[in-house]
């Protein structure tokens, strides 16, 4: 009779942004070792009946994929977003157990986690590998209609779903997207549009996504907003995928200097002390209106405000890390008309020296924007 039993929840597949619980019951001291791709990353032990949560340990073995429109393929690999985990458990009696788990970057809200627990469903069966729903790792919407502005196009990460081969139908033309179920990948919608234009002279804007014979969702590309000023923010969403959001309001920049650090220095010419001070450092922030947003777009905006990784792209030709906040963000429980939100972008660097911005000519580049941007920007 075995005196060692182990269990992990969720079983087989899990998100590192949500709880991952390892439970062990042993009649003698038990040791567990966690390995990723054959490399040992953590060891722990305990006695009797005990459990440990592993999500913080496993979050370090996955990282978001940096994916670009310029990539040549329509289906891009996002291998860094997932890892195969092995957990070896043994006790002093010589008994051993082995568990296997595939972990993926990202997570869902506590509210959704409770709902899934009550329904006895996993997030993978509910959404991420469900061929009958929008399985893309976007927080733009949970619905089957995904609307993206042309200026916000980036490859769309997803876990290749079960249920058959993925197909995309646009203007009556079918494109087959072959992959392996459970593999982290991304759909390069920009490259697909370009391929359709080059081969069929069609600039497609509506893409119906099928897995086998089941329709999963529809992706609609809309024109960017016409505005004298626009800013593009790239952020890491809740699922661990990078997305773009276009801000079209007029921006104003404010600089806040640190407190003056004055001190006295002896001057032997006058045999007295004179006041001196160190060069002041300060931080800049930009205040800008988000532009009018639908309810889905406001939720998308809230996810951006929660992100730990936000960058403003193409400002002075560079990508600058910012912390974004919103004053008194409120939205109607049932939104009937678009709303605009005042955002403040706090630049992360504290600067002591102001030397202006380098132009592209200073770096020997004719591009207006960085590699993040496609040719129409240049």
DSSP H or E segment with residue 53: strand 39-53
Per-domain residue ranges of the chain: 1-105, 225-255+281-377
Q: Would you state the pLDDT for residue 366?
A: 40
Q: For residues 369 and 232, what is the distance between their CA atoms, to the nearest angstrom?
A: 11
Q: Would you state the pLDDT for residue 289?
A: 83
Q: For residues 6 and 4, what is the distance between their CA atoms, to the nearest angstrom?
A: 7
Per-residue pLDDT in tens (0 to 9) along the chain, 378 residues: 568 999 999 999 999 999 999 999 999 999 999 999 889 999 999 999 999 999 999 999 999 999 999 999 999 999 999 999 999 999 999 999 999 999 999 999 999 999 999 998 999 999 999 999 999 999 999 999 999 999 999 999 999 999 899 999 999 999 999 999 999 999 999 999 999 999 999 999 999 999 999 999 999 999 987 777 888 999 999 999 999 999 887 788 888 777 777 888 888 888 888 888 777 777 888 888 887 788 888 889 999 999 999 999 977 667 889 999 987 676 666 666 677 888 989 887 766 555 555 444 443 444 444 444 555 544
Q: Would you state the pLDDT for residue 152?
A: 94
Top-tier CATH class for 1-105:
mainly beta
pTM comes to 0.84
Q: Would you state the pLDDT for residue 341?
A: 85
Q: Would you state the pLDDT for residue 262?
A: 81
Which of 242, 252, 331 lies closest to 285 in space, CA to CA? 252
Phi-psi region of 212 (alpha: psi -120 to 50; beta: other; left: phi over 0): left
Q: Would you state the pLDDT for residue 290?
A: 82
Residue 88 corresponds to which tokens in the numbers above? 């070896």
Q: Would you state the pLDDT for residue 318?
A: 79
Q: Would you state the pLDDT for residue 106?
A: 97
Q: For residues 35 and 56, what is the distance between their CA atoms, to the nearest angstrom?
A: 14
CA atoms within 13 A on the CB side of 351: 12
Peptide bond preceding 10 in cis form (omega within 30 of 0): yes
Q: Would you state the pLDDT for residue 206?
A: 97
Q: For residues 31 and 287, what is the distance between their CA atoms, to the nearest angstrom?
A: 53
Handedness of CA 296, 136, 133, 56 (dihedral sign): negative
Top-tier CATH class for 225-255+281-377:
mainly beta
Which of 235, 247, 337 lies closest to 287 in space, CA to CA? 247
Q: For residues 279 and 24, what is the distance between their CA atoms, to the nearest angstrom?
A: 58
Q: For residues 20 and 16, what is the distance between their CA atoms, to the nearest angstrom?
A: 7
**How large is the C-alpha radius of gyration of the chain?**
26
Which residues, at least 6 apart from 306, have a Cβ–Cβ distance to it below 8 Å?
Answer: 238
């Amino acid at each position: 009779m075995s005196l060692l039993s182990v269990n992990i929840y969720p079983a087989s597949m899990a998100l590192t942004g949500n709880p991952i619980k390892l439970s062990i019951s042993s009649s003698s001291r038990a040791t567990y070792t966690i390995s990723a791709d054959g490399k040992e990353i953590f060891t722990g032990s305990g006695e009797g009946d005990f459990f440990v949560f592993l999500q913080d340990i496993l979050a370090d073995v996955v990282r978001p994929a940096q994916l670009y429109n310029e990539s040549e393929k329509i289906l891009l690999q996002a291998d860094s977003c997932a890892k195969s985990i092995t957990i070896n458990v043994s006790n002093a009696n010589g008994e051993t157990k082995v568990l296997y788990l595939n972990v993926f970057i990202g997570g869902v809200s506590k509210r959704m986690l409770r709902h899934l627990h009550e329904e006895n469903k996993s997030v993978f069966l509910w959404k991420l590998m469900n061929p009958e729903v929008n399985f893309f790792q976007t927080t733009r919407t949970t619905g089957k209609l995904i609307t993206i502005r042309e200026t916000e196009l980036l490859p769309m990460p997803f876990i290749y779903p079960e249920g058959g081969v993925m197909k995309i139908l646009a203007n009556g033309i079918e494109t087959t997207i072959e992959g392996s179920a459970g593999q982290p990948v991304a759909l390069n919608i920009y490259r697909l549009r370009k391929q359709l234009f080059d081969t069929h002279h069609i600039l497609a804007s509506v893409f119906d996504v099928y897995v086998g014979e089941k329709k999963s969702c529809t992706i609609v590309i809309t024109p960017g907003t016409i505005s004298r000023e626009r800013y593009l923010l790239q952020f890491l969403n809740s699922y661990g995928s990078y997305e773009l959001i276009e801000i079209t309001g007029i921006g104003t920049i404010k600089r806040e200097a640190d407190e003056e650090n004055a001190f006295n220095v002896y001057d032997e010419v006058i045999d007295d002390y004179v006041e001196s001070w160190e060069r002041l450092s300060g931080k800049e922030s930009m205040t800008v209106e988000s532009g009018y947003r639908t309810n889905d777009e406001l939720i998308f905006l809230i996810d951006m405000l929660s992100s730990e990784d936000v960058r403003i792209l193409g400002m002075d030709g560079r990508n600058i890390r910012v912390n974004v906040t919103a004053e008194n963000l409120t939205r109607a429980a049932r939104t009937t008309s678009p709303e605009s939100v005042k955002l403040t972008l706090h630049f992360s660097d504290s600067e002591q020296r102001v030397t202006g911005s380098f132009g592209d000519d200073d770096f020997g580049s004719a591009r207006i924007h960085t590699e993040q941007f496609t040719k129409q920007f240049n």
